[in-house]
């Protein structure tokens, strides 16, 4: 019998008769049966969260809240290998990524915001009055209330904790929904919260789908005070419409169609390695991945040949094999979506440098959701394959001649999340970075993060910023207090 993943509501694990299958994308096997939360379950979770806010949690001193976050981090560390196994089973990602990035970052998120909230400061101003007396104006942070946190499937524990940790640090209660594709690590986090005795209702985990299911029930609920969402731009637009009447605070990190720009003076080998990484990490299923690569014409042919060789050397393997570089797509549905772009690219006139197919292994992986890492050339910038987010292991490499051309083409997108610039000319790097219409710019690196810095995109890539004080600003209300002396 497969294990059952329950909802966690008001400090209790709650089953339901309506369940769905959690599928291992490596071989199509069943990881678990997951209980889908009903509208009544959502209401119960929201009411439990509101009760927690009215109780001791809502009045708890900052230092005590910080201790709770450190206890959660301790709980994840104590069950480190369980979290690794959950991430691998749900996503098929290489185990070394889960061990070195996903689970450590989940721990770090709780510790970072636990420490940040203890040192966060507010403003204070001395004010002269018309009568010549003085007043002091100071601000205080207060919790927003009950936060609906909806996270995606591509980096499950990393992005789930990225929302939950700051929300709890600021004294909010959370009703959280992981992706239906990757419920296991969120369920484990609920177990950790339960084991350490986190007050009931402070943290609730609900499972289910989006439209017409748990996600929509959450965002429509009048007891929700704010919504933080990471996922597709279309879903973000739908949530905006849902919460508009209630004028609820939102923070959206949405899709990307990111550019990498490689100049002639770049360190060639580092640029090739960097673009391979930025295009194919996590099988291309990262919103920050580079799907559009612009390379100076003088090194274009050499760069394409080097990318081809490096890409074809990537190992598609079982996740527990330490030699594995590339895992599967998250689901059969997503595999079909990426494969449809393979066909579309050919119809639009692309040259397939490598990949562009569903591999056959002759073993259990043939029942999974695999696609081969793919490089295209030869498409015009107007091609759908260069306008729409594929969210798979694909990139298109195109030549450019001038800096102005590179900037214009990199910015020619409905999205604006991240840009990677590869050059050894530091003046050029700084000047071009400031002209990029994206929320993040990396110079001679990719996916190097400092949790104190703002994270988010522009245009269809999102609304708002999180990270460091930017998360504090979103997950709290500031009140000005004026005292006349």
Tell me the three state secondary structure of residue 123: coil
Distance between CA atoms of residues 21 and 4, nearest Å: 10
DSSP β-bridge partners for residue 35: 19
Distance between CA atoms of residues 375 and 179, nearest Å: 29
Burial class, 328, CB count within 10 angstroms (exposed 0-12 / middle 13-18 / buried 19+): buried
Catalytic residue among 253, 291, 389, 466: 253
Residue 269 makes CB contacts below 8 A (sequence gap 6+) with none
- Residue at token pair 């929201």: 46
**Is 287 in the active site?**
yes
| Nearest alpha carbon to residue 269 among 280, 259, 277, 257 | 277
Other C-beta atoms closer than 10 Å to the C-beta of 447 total 16
What sign for the dihedral angle of Cα 377, 379, 382, 383?
negative
Distance between CA atoms of residues 460 and 253, nearest Å: 9
Measured CA distances, 153 to 46, 87, 185 (Å) = 23, 10, 11
Would you give the DSSP letter of residue 107?
Answer: H
Distance between CA atoms of residues 172 and 164, nearest Å: 9
| Nearest alpha carbon to residue 349 among 389, 383, 395, 387 | 383
Token pair of 481, please?
A: 């207090």
Distance between CA atoms of residues 101 and 418, nearest Å: 20
Residue 405 makes CB contacts below 8 A (sequence gap 6+) with none
Distance between CA atoms of residues 266 and 272, nearest Å: 10
Distance between CA atoms of residues 159 and 162, nearest Å: 5
Question: Left (φ > 0), alpha (ψ -120 to 50) or beta: where does 56 sit?
Answer: alpha
Distance between CA atoms of residues 391 and 95, nearest Å: 21
Would you give the DSSP letter of residue 405?
Answer: H
**Is 482 in the active site?**
no
Catalytic residue among 35, 287, 289, 395: 287
Measured N-to-C along each axis, helices 62-78 and 103-119 cross at an angle, to the nearest 10 degrees, of: 170
Token pair of 226, please?
A: 């704010």
Residue 94 makes CB contacts below 8 A (sequence gap 6+) with 317, 319, 321, 324, 325, 326, 327
393 in Cβ contact with 280 (< 8 Å)? yes
14 in Cβ contact with 207 (< 8 Å)? no
Active-site residue list:
253, 287
């Amino acid at each position: 019998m497969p294990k059952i993943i329950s909802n966690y509501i008001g400090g209790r694990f709650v089953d339901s008769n309506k369940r769905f299958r959690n599928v291992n994308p490596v071989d199509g096997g069943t990881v678990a049966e997951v209980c889908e939360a009903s509208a009544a379950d959502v209401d119960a979770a929201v009411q439990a969260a509101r009760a927690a806010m009215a109780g001791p949690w809502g009045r708890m001193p900052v230092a005590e809240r910080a201790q709770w976050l450190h206890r959660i981090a301790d709980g994840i560390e104590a069950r480190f290998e369980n979290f690794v196994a959950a991430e691998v089973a749900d996503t098929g990602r290489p185990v070394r990524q889960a061990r070195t990035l996903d689970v450590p970052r989940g721990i770090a998120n709780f510790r970072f915001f636990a420490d940040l909230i203890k040192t966060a400061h507010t403003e204070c101003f001395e004010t002269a009055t018309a009568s010549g007396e003085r007043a002091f104006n100071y601000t205080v942070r207060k919790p927003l209330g009950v936060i609906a946190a909806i996270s995606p499937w591509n980096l499950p524990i990393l992005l789930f904790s990225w929302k939950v940790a700051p929300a709890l640090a600021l004294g909010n209660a959370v009703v959280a929904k992981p992706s239906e594709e990757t419920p296991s690590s969120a369920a484990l986090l609920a177990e950790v919260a339960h084991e350490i005795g986190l007050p009931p209702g402070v943290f609730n985990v609900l499972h289910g789908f989006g439209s017409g299911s748990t996600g929509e029930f959450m965002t429509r609920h009048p007891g929700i005070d704010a919504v933080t969402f990471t996922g597709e731009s279309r879903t973000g637009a739908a949530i905006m419409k849902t919460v508009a009447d209630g004028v609820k605070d939102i923070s959206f990190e949405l899709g990307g169609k990111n550019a990498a720009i490689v100049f002639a003076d770049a360190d060639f080998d580092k640029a090739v390695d960097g673009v391979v990484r930025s295009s194919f990490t996590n099988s291309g299923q990262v919103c920050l991945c580079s799907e559009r690569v612009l390379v100076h014409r003088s090194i274009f042919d050499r760069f394409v040949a080097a990318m081809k060789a490096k890409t074809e050397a990537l190992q598609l393997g079982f996740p527990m094999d330490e030699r594995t570089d590339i895992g599967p797509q998250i689901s059969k549905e997503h595999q079909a979506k990426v494969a449809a772009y393979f066909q579309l690219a050919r119809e639009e006139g692309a040259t397939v440098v490598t990949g562009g197919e569903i591999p056959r292994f002759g073993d259990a992986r043939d029942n999974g959701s695999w696609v081969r890492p793919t490089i295209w050339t030869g498409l015009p910038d107007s091609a759908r394959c260069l306008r729409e987010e594929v969210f798979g292991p694909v990139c298109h490499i195109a030549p450019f001649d001038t800096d102005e051309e590179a900037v214009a083409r990199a910015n020619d997108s409905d999205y604006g999340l991240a840009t990677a610039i590869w050059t050894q000319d530091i003046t050029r790097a700084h000047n071009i970075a400031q002209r990029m219409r994206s929320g993040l710019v990396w110079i001679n690196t990719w996916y190097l993060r400092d949790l104190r810095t703002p994270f988010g995109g522009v245009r269809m890539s999102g609304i708002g910023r999180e990270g460091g004080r930017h998360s504090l600003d979103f997950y709290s209300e500031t009140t000005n207090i004026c005292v006349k002396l």
